[in-house]
Amino acid sequence: MFVIQEESTGINVRSYWPSVVASGAMLLATDALSIERTLGSYMLSACDLSKYQLAEFAYLQGSAELLLRFAKTYDAKASQLLNSRVYNTSMQRKVTELRNMILSEDFIAMCKNLTDVERTDLTLKWADDVQLFILTIDELRGSFILPSILQVDISIVCKICVQTP
């Protein structure tokens, strides 16, 4: 059974190269977003940030944004999907607003003035909003980009089934 599946599934690299590249960029973007989510959650809960942590947070944000922009530029389908389901959505606006808040000059003072409950709520809001962002990108990649790359060749399946005793 696995042999049949392995031989019948081909990666159409030549004709689908833009989708292969876009898929990789989207995967790397979600990796960067996951680390950004964790670091942001720590930053919101601790309210005691070093310049290194702020730089790392900004670096991760920039990496994720550039990788998604690269996927958009390289593949028309990824561009259409990201434009319709990620960019200029309330989900993106919420994440951007929270990112800007964390990177603002007065963040530490504002954060220290929050009650424990307010800080916890803000941390959970950040984590939930970024997680939705990550899951949306993953869903687009898994449901639309990857299936266009991986295609089962039915003729090979039928040929192998006929040859199998």
Band (pLDDT 50/70/90 cuts) for residue 157 is very low
State residue 5's pLDDT score.
Answer: 46
- Give residue limits of the domains in the chain: 2-153
Residues 6+ apart with CB under 8 A from 41: 123, 126, 127
Residue 40, Cβ density class (10 Å: 0-12 exposed, 13-18 middle, ≥19 buried): buried
How large is the average pLDDT for residues 17-31?
A: 95
Q: Residue 140 in contact with residue 85, Cβ under 8 Å?
A: yes
pLDDT digits (tens, 9 = 90+) for 71-97: 999 999 999 999 999 999 999 999 999
State residue 150's pLDDT score.
Answer: 80
> Does the structure show a pLDDT above 70 at 165?
no
Cα 159–chain centre separation? 39
> Does the structure show a pLDDT above 70 at 11?
no
State residue 148's pLDDT score.
Answer: 82
Decide which of 1.20.120, 2.60.40, 1.10.150, 1.20.1070 is the CATH code for 2-153: 1.20.120
Residues 6+ apart with CB under 8 A from 64: 29, 30, 32, 33, 36
DSSP-assigned letters across all residues of 97-126: HHHHHHHSTTHHHHHHTS-HHHHHHHHHHH
> Does the structure show a pLDDT above 80 at 153?
no
Band (pLDDT 50/70/90 cuts) for residue 1 is very low
pLDDT digits (tens, 9 = 90+) for 40-76: 999 999 987 888 999 999 999 999 999 999 999 999 9
pLDDT digits (tens, 9 = 90+) for 117-141: 999 999 999 999 999 999 999 999 9
Band (pLDDT 50/70/90 cuts) for residue 2 is very low
Measured distance CA(156)–CA(162) in Å, rounded: 10
Residue 74 token pair: 């390289």
* Mean per-residue pLDDT over the chain, rounded: 87
For 143-162, b/e burial (b = at least 16 CB within 10 A) is ebbeebbeeeeeeeeeeeee
DSSP letter assigned to residue 89: S
Using DSSP's 3-state secondary structure scheme, residue 75 falls into coil
